[in-house]
């Protein structure tokens, strides 16, 4: 009787669907570096989200970007309308510089938008910034305008790739 029950359970388990694995946006174990020379005072102003990293099946997402204001030392205020891995994410509230090239939206969910953002790269004139998270849950490119020149897009892609992101998953946001 025990063998019959064991055989039935084995048969049921074999028919169960295989667990689905979410597509990784970032390679596990790849070192990641935040920009130690990042100047938080230059973050102030409007940023347009021009690209995001999202899984192949993610639905299109529209985003505006974010505005940083009231920069006071390590503290600032953020108003954001973003796409994170294919999902819309909004935020209005405080932000804080948590380390060299590291930012946290302090009142947001730490498992989502409130995860620590790492500034992976910013161009010399602070027109384009690349943001990622060590977990690889999301990554994005922000620009001062909706028009990102090809040379800065190429540089942003190289930085994302170097930090372990799957740049094949980079898509425009509009």
Least confident of 12-16, 55-59, 76-80, 143-147: 12-16
- The answer to whether 32 and 135 are in contact (CB under 8 A) is no
- CA angle, 41 then 47 then 52, to 5°: 120
Residue 130 scores a pLDDT above 60:
yes
| Residue 120: Cβ within 10 Å count | 23
Q: What is the pLDDT of residues 44-95, one digit of tens each?
A: 999 999 999 999 889 999 888 999 999 999 999 999 999 998 999 999 999 9
Rounded CA separation 97/87 (Å): 25
- The answer to whether 35 and 121 are in contact (CB under 8 A) is yes
Q: Which residues pair with 117 in a beta bridge?
A: 103
Residue 21 scores a pLDDT above 60:
no
Annotate the chain with three-state secondary structure: CHHHHHHHHHHHHHHCCCCCCCCCCECCCCCCCCCCCCCHHHHCEEEEEEEEECCCCCCCCCCCEEEEEEEECCEEEEEEEEEECCEEEEEEEEEEEEECCEEEECCCCCCCCCCCEEEEEECCCCCEEEEECCCCCCEEEEECCCCCCHHHHHHHHHHHHHCCECHHHEEECC
Stretch 91-102: mean pLDDT: 97
Residue 25 scores a pLDDT above 90:
yes
Q: What percent of the chain has pLDDT over 70?
A: 87
CATH code at 2-172: 2.40.128.20
Q: Tokens 């938080």 appear where?
A: 40
């Amino acid at each position: 009787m025990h063998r019959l029950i064991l055989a039935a359970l084995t048969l049921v388990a074999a028919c169960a669907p295989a667990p689905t694995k979410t597509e990784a946006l970032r390679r596990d174990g790849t070192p990641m570096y935040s920009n130690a020379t990042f100047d938080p005072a230059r973050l102030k102003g409007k940023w347009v989200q021009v690209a995001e990293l999202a899984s192949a099946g993610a639905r299109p997402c529209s985003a505006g970007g974010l505005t940083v204001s009231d920069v006071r030392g390590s503290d600032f205020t953020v108003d954001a309308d973003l796409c994170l891995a294919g999902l819309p994410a909004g935020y209005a509230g405080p932000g804080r510089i948590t380390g060299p090239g590291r930012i946290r939206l302090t009142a947001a969910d730490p498992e989502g938008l409130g995860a620590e953002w790492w500034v992976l790269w910013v161009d010399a004139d602070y027109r384009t910034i690349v943001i990622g998270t060590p977990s690889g849950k999301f990554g994005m490119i922000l620009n001062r305008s909706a028009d990102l020149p090809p040379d800065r897009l190429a540089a942003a892609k190289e930085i994302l790739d170097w930090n372990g992101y799957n740049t094949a998953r980079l898509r425009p946001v509009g």
